[in-house]
Amino acid sequence: MLQLQRRGHSVQLIGSVNFEAIATAYGVPFVPLPGDYRQLLGSKQGLELMQGKPVKLVSNQLLEAMLTTADAAIAGTDLLLVTPLALWGYHLAEAEGCALMVLSPIPIIATGDYAFLSFPAPAESPPPSGLGQRLSRRLNRLSYRSVSLLKWRQDSRVIQAYRRSKGLAALPWGGALSRRDAPANLADPTVLHLFSPLVLPRPADWKQSASVAGYCFLESRSAAGEILASSYRPADDLQQFLDAGSRPFYAGFGSMIPRDPAGLGSVLVDAARLAGQRLILSPGWGRVLPRTALPASVYVLEECPHSWLFPQLQGAIHHGGAGTTATTLRHGLPSTVVACFADQPAWGRSLERLGVSPATHRLATLSAENLARSMRAIADKPSFRLRAQALQQGLGREDGVAKVVAAIEAKLSAA
């Protein structure tokens, strides 16, 4: 968004109210959608979602309100960019008659290399040989269609009503993927995947309209790709903690809200004690903090730019979200994932395959002993940091923002 603005484009961000503050801080025009995701994730359905249960987080009533708000906000738009959680934007683009592009932090295009959310893929996927392998690849591809169909059936009543209200023809039972009359502006839309090919290569069987553009980082960089020094100034007690001993580990779960945040906090503190490591604990939305008093070897950090903090750490413990995973790699930081749901276990396995993580844990079965083993491995085996630093150099030579901007401007020219 910022780079598009700098290049003279008029942009507007439509999203959850949770992102309004950061958009405003960077001067990006923002339209808040109904629905506070912090409240949604903390609800009964949200807590069940964190446990991997197939619940519907966005109700029909809320989806209808989102469609209504976004429909009014995109009047006059030339190009609509949507994410996987807002693929209903397809119908907005059809009503508006504008072009459409999808920006995704996870693989969403069908491939035989791996099933939906079960990546990582092998470095080079071998051609299918034998009935078993051909069947496996076929099932992998079908998993994407199955997920798409389930989501469509879940939301179809609301979306079909929206389409009727805009004078659009109803879609077939199987949704947009089953239609044969898609308008030219929506035929095979471009899908840009916002992760590095060094982390997850582009499958050879993807269709031409799908590409891997690379990570899009916010921090400023030099011409050589190095991250420029941050102007952030830490609180005195944070700086004193960092200066008082060995490099600490970081533990943070961002927007995740576990069912037992105090219990998770205790496991994290106990694991650091068993591993003999210092710890910076970020409570996040879930307020992950033990009920007992914290030792001097643990510092509670409410907010701090990762770009300033991560270069000063020994390793990280996180939920495996696409953004946090990317940030650890961009700063050459080994990590271990404690996954809740969705794409998080897959990113954890990707880090293992890359040689920058000793293990992936599941929140439901996490123990202090197992987590301590991962922390000791990161601290004692230089290979994890060396591999992370090598990846950092490779990522520094990529420029995902430039590729995305070039693709958007090409789409605008074609439109």
Q: Which two tokens stand for residue 106?
A: 């996870």
Instruction: Please tell me the predicted confidence (pLDDT) of residue 128.
Output: 61
Supply the mean pLDDT for the chain: 94
Name the pLDDT band for 144 (thresholds 50, 70, 90).
very high
Q: pLDDT (tens digit, 9 = 90+) per residue, 261-284? A: 999 999 999 999 999 999 999 999
14 and 31 Cβ atoms separated by less than 8 Å: yes
Name every residue whose Cβ is closer than 8 Å to that of residue 82 and which is 6 or more positions away in sequence: 89, 90, 100, 101, 102, 103
Beta carbons within 10 angstroms of residue 61's beta carbon: 10
Which pair of structure tokens corresponds to residue 48?
């069940």
| Dist CA 122 CA 113 (whole Å) | 8
> How far is CA 293 from each of CA 51, 270, 283, rounded to the nearest angstrom?
28, 12, 15
Q: What is the pLDDT of residue 384?
A: 98
Mean pLDDT value of segment 93-111? 97
Q: Which residue has the higher pLDDT, 199 or 55?
A: 199
Q: Give the pLDDT of residue 54.
A: 81
Higher pLDDT, residue 414 or 339: 339
Tokens in use for 172?
Answer: 């077939």
- Cβ atoms of 248 and 279 within 8 Å: the answer is yes
DSSP 238-307: HHHHHHTSSPPEEEE-TT---S-HHHHHHHHHHHHHHHT--EEEE-TTTT---SSPPPTTEEE-S---HH
Residue 32 pLDDT exceeds 60: yes
Q: How far apart are CA 90 and CA 176, in angstroms?
A: 9
* Burial class of residue 292 in the structure, from the number of CB atoms within 10 Å of its CB (0-12 exposed, 13-18 middle, 19+ buried): exposed
- 185-209 average pLDDT score: 95
Location of structure tokens 């960019």: 81
| Beta strand spans in 293-404 (E) | 298-300, 315-318, 335-339, 360-362
CATH of range 236-396; options 3.10.20.740, 2.30.42.10, 3.30.300.30, 3.40.50.2000:
3.40.50.2000
Q: For residue 348, is pLDDT > 80?
A: yes
pLDDT single digits (tens) 367-397:
999 999 999 999 999 999 999 999 999 999 9
Per-residue pLDDT band for 123 (boundaries 50, 70, 90) equals: low
Q: Which of 409, 258, 284, 392 is nearest to 338 (CA)?
A: 258
Instruction: Tell which CATH architecture fits domain 2-220+398-414.
Output: 3-Layer(aba) Sandwich (3.40)
Q: What are phi and psi of 68, to 5 degrees?
A: -65, -45
Q: What is the pLDDT of residues 218-235, one digit of tens each?
A: 877 777 767 777 788 999
What average pLDDT score do residues 235-248 get?
96
Q: Which of 54-63, 98-107, 293-302 has the lowest mean pLDDT?
A: 54-63
**Amino acid 35: pLDDT:** 94
pLDDT at 48: 87
pLDDT at residue 127 is higher than 70? no
Q: How confident is the model at residue 12 (pLDDT cuts 50, 70, 90)?
A: very high
Domain with CATH 3.40.50.2000 in the chain: 2-220+398-414, 236-396
Work out the pLDDT band at 125, boundaries 50, 70, 90.
low
Give 3-state DSSP helix, strand, coil % of the chain, rounded to 5: 45, 10, 45
The percent of residues in the chain predicted with pLDDT above 70, rounded, is 98
pLDDT of residue 167: 97
d(CA 386, CA 398): 19
Write the pLDDT tens digit of every residue in 254-266. Answer: 999 999 999 999 9
- What's the rounded Cα separation, in Å, for the pair 263 and 352? 26
pLDDT at 227: 74
